[in-house]
Structure 1
């Protein structure tokens, strides 16, 4: 395998146009708890906190400190805000979903970027760092409190383990004079006066199994064919990935393969938004009558292949924020294709499960598609698969500064940077992962979106990471549009 033509051209343009000064991304002392990312709407560099819900508390108090190598005269020191709606976070906790709570950190300055020195949650020190910054500097202190209007008891869960909360990192201490600015924003406190615990039972978090996703088939993510997984670069056995969909456009000369996709229900296929483009300049979406979806297809060149379902399309739904901003093709690269008639589930055709942010998935995934192969063919006759490790946002940004303009908090990067992975023709295809403690069921974790381009070969540069659209960030939108 080796993502579509507009992707490569766009990435090459990014490399050529790089003339302005951009901030250096500092190294995070605790990347599992904090990392930097670029906001898609403001183009500002923000910080992301991923805080495991603490035990034995009805409030979550966060205090963080940063140091920046300049003297700031403004009283504004930045702010911390919830990444998701407060009510949805509280509801999530009340249902026993223990995924980290996301916060965005807004900085008072972009260049240089402040460096994290301390993170405290409910008076527990989780991360400490003493970076070497000589000369003038300013210390920034930010706080945030999350409380529920009704008491929520976390004590039904054991204390966080090292897998949930990394060990504290304490780097060399350096006694030096500092200028300290402490900032408590009035809009940081999420609620008013905390409610006392009632004498009658309130809302108690209990450990529950991940709920069944409404509208999805009970056996989603379970191929009928049990496999001895093939190695990277080898052809995939027919039926091994029964949710793999081939998207074809009708052209003046016949049908042409466009992209891959993933079947998630009898009537819905998920792919990348750029895969359903008719006009790359105007971001015009192709008309549904020009699109045919082939399910259960293995050989792209064999149109007499048995047990293949050819489906017409009734509607194409592109994410409403795709095509916005300076890098309008980089973010929210997601589309839903609605089939005119329902798919027939059988040995070769099955749906994949939709992921959610509370699922504990493996830190790698399988990417399958008919993209460019090692012999230079623009598409492969049969699908191939690659195993790709998922890396942190920080590692992605530090590997190549071009990713600063190609990634956001709705994407993730993956790859071994060894020349293998998705390329031309693999766009829109999925990355599939299993749960850590419940293997055997596959979830659609991401959608192949883009890669950097190689200026010598005008193809994808797989010595760099590949960018995927993070499906967990769009779960509510998918549910709203599909009922799944």
Structure 2
């Protein structure tokens, strides 16, 4: 029987790319225990021709779904799994939740940090031809901040405190997945696929959004300690990599229940040690739209580096909350000068009894425009591009007002807590 036209095309493609593939001696099996044999379409590591040529996939078999390759678990979609996964409130019969307000026990089987993380996303001109571009590839929409007159060290704690959030930013642009080697639908995401938004379960579902976070593994989110208490694990949920909160199908975001919350043991209801690790009830699927960010090396210093903050917080102090994810360009400033500025605030000694102690990152606007974090964005990421990947420099913690040029935003320094963070990844 003569070969049909689609079969001829497929064979031609396979022959042309045969040099980029390797083959295992035992079909259907992979030599690495961390991998499994899946159709190439279901492995996010080989979505484009460039990825195939660069990583040389190992072919482990053939099926009616096409070529099968050895794929790391972090990049292989579960068979039959949908991209947008939504969970509901935990059932009463669920396993006991983690309620320990301190470090979890360290076990020798703690999962490692992901090998692939923080991959940059670029917006191509041909995808959004009507949007004006800057040299950094994004549209700037200026919003001026309103500075509160009182001199009061604001910290995003529950009550009458001021909570950080993005001011002087702009909408995060969408990014379309590059064409895959074998065709198929392309996913839509955005520049920050590790963005997390925490909400509370209500009769209408997950909503009442209150804090941000950052995906650091397929099952762990880093956020601010003041955002979540351990006993709240069963009442909140996490939405990962959403964009416009009013459009449920705009991007392939995912949603998970929370099964455990561990605050830093030295957190005492203030900006010092304002850090928590959240464990998701089920791991997320690594896709084009959803990926973790990289942690910086222990002790890393990003002084003077260009960074970005993102979140769904207020557009200005006392203003409205946006539906679309916002981002603002910032720069890491001198911590000594930052601490000296905050020492003028009467609450400083109570909030930081021994000073910053190298556990805080301060960031301010890169230009004369007021840009900052403000109410609604606590726990979200401060990000820097380093060696080709984005690193989580800081976690939104506190500040004085929104966009006040005399008081940079205060972020928990992730590099100062890296060892503690890794210990909680169980």
TM-score, normalisation: structure 2: 0.54
**1:400-442 Cα distance to aligned partner (Å, 9 max, x none):** 422564451211211138432111111110101122xx2x200
Cα distance change, pair 230–320 in 1 and its aligned pair in 2 (3 A) = farther
What residue is the counterpart of 1:441 in the other structure?
389
Select which of 349, 370, 376 maps to 1:419: 370
Whether the 8 Å contact between 2:219 and 2:283 is mirrored in structure 1 is: yes
**Are 2:193 and 2:291, in contact at CA under 8 Å, matched by a contact in 1?**
yes
How far 1:389 sits from its partner (Å)? 1.6
Could you tell me which of 295, 311, 314 is aligned with 2:240? 295
Report SS of the residue matched to 1:468: strand
Matched with 1:429 is 380
Q: Report what 1:233 is aligned to.
A: 169
Partner SS state of residue 271, structure 2: coil
Q: For residues 88-110 of structure 1, give each alpha carbon's deviation from its aligned partner in whole angstroms, at most 9, with x where no partner exists.
A: xxxxxxxxxxxxxxxxxxxxxxx
| 1:177-326 map, 5 Å | 215-225=112-122, 228-231=137-140, 233-238=169-174, 239-251=190-202, 255-277=207-229, 285-323=230-268
The yes-or-no answer on 1:331 pairing with 2:272 is yes
**Contact in 2 for aligned 1:378/1:425 (Cα 8 Å):** no
Offset, 1:352: 0.2
Q: Contact conserved, 2:372 with 2:403, CA < 8 A, in 1?
A: no
C-alpha contact 1:371 1:425 (8 A) present in aligned 2: yes
Give the structure-1-normalised TM-score. Answer: 0.48
Size of the aligned set, in residue pairs, is 252
C-alpha deviation, 1:384, in angstroms = 1.4
Q: Residue 214 and residue 443 in structure 1: after superposition, are their counterparts in 2 closer, same or farther (change >3 A)?
A: farther
Alignment-derived partner of residue 326 in structure 2: 384
1:460 CA displacement: 7.2
Deviation at 1:297, TM superposition (A): 0.5
Unaligned residue ranges in structure 1 (runs of 5+): 1-212, 278-284, 454-458
Q: Distance in 2 between matches of 1:218 and 1:356?
A: 14
Q: Which whole-Å CA distance do the structure 2 matches of 1:344 and 1:225 have between them? A: 22
* Contact 2:341–2:406 under 8 Å retained in 1: no
The 3 A distance-change label for structure 1 pair 329 and 398 is closer
The corresponding residue for 2:421 is: 478
Cα distance in 1 for residues equivalent to 2:317 and 2:299:
40
Per the alignment, do residues 354 and 272 of structure 1 end up closer, same or farther by CA in structure 2, a change over 3 Å counting? same
Q: Does structure 1 retain, via aligned residues, the 8 Å contact 2:380–2:396?
A: yes
- Structure 2 segments unaligned to the other structure (5+ residues): 1-109, 125-136, 141-167, 175-189
Determine if contact 2:251/2:289 at 8 Å carries over to the other structure: no
Q: Give 1:376 deviation, angstroms.
A: 5.5
Greater percentage in strand:
1
